[in-house]
Amino acid sequence: MRDSFVRVFGLALVLIALVAAPAFAQDPEPSDDEVNRIAKQLYCPVCPNTPLDVCSTQACAQWRATIREQLELGWNEDQIRQYFVEQYGDRVLATPPARGINWLIYVLPPVVIIVGGLLLLRTIRSWIGTNNGRLVQEELLPEKDVYVNQLEDELRRRESG
The contact set with other proteins (CB under 8 A) reads 31-33, 36, 43, 48-49, 51, 54, 56-58, 60-61, 89-96, 100-102, 104-105, 108-109, 112-113, 116-117, 120, 123-125, 127-132, 134, 136-139, 141-143, 145-146, 153, 156-157, 159-160
Beta carbon of residue 2, minimum distance to other proteins (angstroms, whole number): 20
User: If 0-12 CB within 10 Å is exposed, 13-18 middle and 19+ buried, where does residue 39 land?
Assistant: buried
CA distance readout (Å), 2 to 12, 57, 66, 101, 149:
15, 21, 12, 29, 78
Beta carbon of residue 85, minimum distance to other proteins (angstroms, whole number): 11
Nearest to other proteins of 3, 32 (CB atom):
32
What single-letter amino acid sits at 132? N
Beta carbon of residue 43, minimum distance to other proteins (angstroms, whole number): 5
DSSP class of 49: T
Cβ atoms of residues 45 and 86 within 8 Å = no
Beta carbon of residue 106, minimum distance to other proteins (angstroms, whole number): 9
- From the list 59, 39, 63, the residue with the least C-alpha distance to 51 is 39
Nearest to other proteins of 15, 54 (CB atom):
54
Please state, in angstroms and rounded to a whole number, the distance separating the CA atoms of residues 102 and 149. 56
Beta carbon of residue 98, minimum distance to other proteins (angstroms, whole number): 11
Nearest to other proteins of 21, 104 (CB atom):
104
